[in-house]
Amino acid sequence: MACAMSMVARVGAQISAHAIEEKLVDILVTRGQWECAQVGIITEEELTNQVLAHLDTLVEALCGVRLFSEARMNEDHTNMHEALFGRRT
């Protein structure tokens, strides 16, 4: 959650913590993606990419700005992977 909030704040988007939390719960729990990653149906890389893509879409839909740039994509991916799995890629 803190990683996502930091990324959103970096681009100046005004999105509530509740909206971000709802999106993360939707992806990880409701859609079962966390469990899929835990049992090997999808890779950690795929889950990290899904979370980043959904956050980008949320920010763009609510604020009209893109969350990610080519220049920061690798760093953002590494940070989100660490936030999700507790280790860097």
Lowest mean pLDDT among 13-17, 30-34, 35-39, 50-54: 13-17
Q: Specify burial of residue 18 (Cβ count, 10 A radius: 0-12, 13-18, 19+).
A: exposed
Number of domain units in the chain: 1
In a domain, 6, yes or no: no
In a domain, 32, yes or no: yes
Residue 71 clears pLDDT 90, i.e. is over it:
no
Residue 87 clears pLDDT 90, i.e. is over it:
no
In a domain, 29, yes or no: yes
What's the average model confidence in pLDDT over 42-52?
Answer: 96
Tallying the residues shown for the chain, one arrives at: 89
Q: Specify burial of residue 51 (Cβ count, 10 A radius: 0-12, 13-18, 19+).
A: buried
In a domain, 56, yes or no: yes
- Under the phi-then-psi rule, with left for phi > 0, alpha for psi from -120 to 50, and beta for the rest, what region is 42? beta
In a domain, 11, yes or no: no
Are residues 48 and 77 in contact, defined by beta-carbon separation less than 8 angstroms?
A: yes
Q: Which domain holds residue 62?
A: 18-85
pTM, 2 dp: 0.89
